[in-house]
Amino acid sequence: MSTEHILNGRYRMEDLIGRGGMADVYRGTDLRLKRTVAIKMMRPDLARDPQFQSRFRREATSSASLNHPNIVHVFDTGEEDIEDRHAHEVSCPFLVMEHVDGGTMKDAIGAGDVTVEEAVAWLDGVLAALSYSHGLGIVHRDIKPANVMVTGSGEVKVMDFGIARALADTSATMTQTQTVVGTAQYLSPEQAMGGTVGTRSDLYSVGCVAFELLTGRPPFLGESPVSVAYQHVRQDPPRPSTLNPDVTPALDAVVLTALAKEPDDRFDDADQFAAALVEALGSPEQTPTGALPLVDPDADAPAGPIPAED
């Protein structure tokens, strides 16, 4: 796309700075307010699909209603006629967003230099964002390291409410045309099974992110998304401390509580989760308030897949 492409006579598209499954993100300039912005443009090859159009517009609606320092702010929305690869003109929706000067949490994990203290501070920012969105009845449904920006000063910004749903939507399950929507490594068990999603589904996903921040890998690994989703439903994750000796028993308890299979066994809400993390740092050997007590390792069930019941 031309670097001089102007959207709505106001937003100049510049460098491509990110790609996602549904859209490309460009650095841009708001010519009216003379500020740098990020422009998220739906890919032309997907813009003809009504489901993708609906999902993108839902992101615009959800994001535009959220005003919080830990959530990437959406300034404007619109549509632009773009030629697809077959030279056919298609109407592509776009979002104009706050430009965050930093990298994703995924990048930081890949660099391998996240300390326990940094992990807890970043998780606090993610949970503050979710406390706010959940208070408005909006569940993110796709929390993962690639959807969290971290600035050079350590400020956290959650983005991509593309599959967010209002809690009042009684059809809010993770299935669309028999396909699970989300990212397998961070799916809650109820999401993996196509069940109804609530605020504690987001907390499970944050638990997966916490595990990865503390250990450098997600709680479950597999050769396919299906095998990973199966493990979320049927297997217990290892203790983070078995992969990183700097993780304390208190942090183990917090992460494993967030990763409980049953939603009712997880933290009540994002605020309780955040408070437990802070408490774990202050009392590394004590089980934080709201966290489940750790089970004696010698009493753990043997590792491996649990056979499905007949």
Q: In this structure, what are the phi and psi dihedrals at residue 12, rounded to the nearest 5 degrees?
A: -90, 125
What is the SS3 assignment for 128?
Answer: helix
What is the SS3 assignment for 52?
Answer: helix
Residues near 242 by beta carbon (within 8 Å), at least 6 away in sequence: none
- DSSP state at residue 196: B
> Distance between CA atoms of 103 and 100, rounded to whole angstroms?
8
Judge whether 142 counts as a catalytic residue: yes
Polymer length of the chain: 310
First-last CA distance in the chain? 55
What is the SS3 assignment for 296?
Answer: coil
Catalytic residue among 142, 160, 202, 252: 142
| DSSP assignment of 242-283 | GT-TTS-HHHHHHHHHHT-SSGGGS-SSHHHHHHHHHHHHHS
In degrees, rounded to 5, the angle at the alpha carbon of residue 41 between the alpha carbons of residues 39 and 46 is: 170
Residues near 153 by beta carbon (within 8 Å), at least 6 away in sequence: none
| Contact indicator for 236, 171 with CB cutoff of 8 Å | no
Residues recognised as catalytic: 142
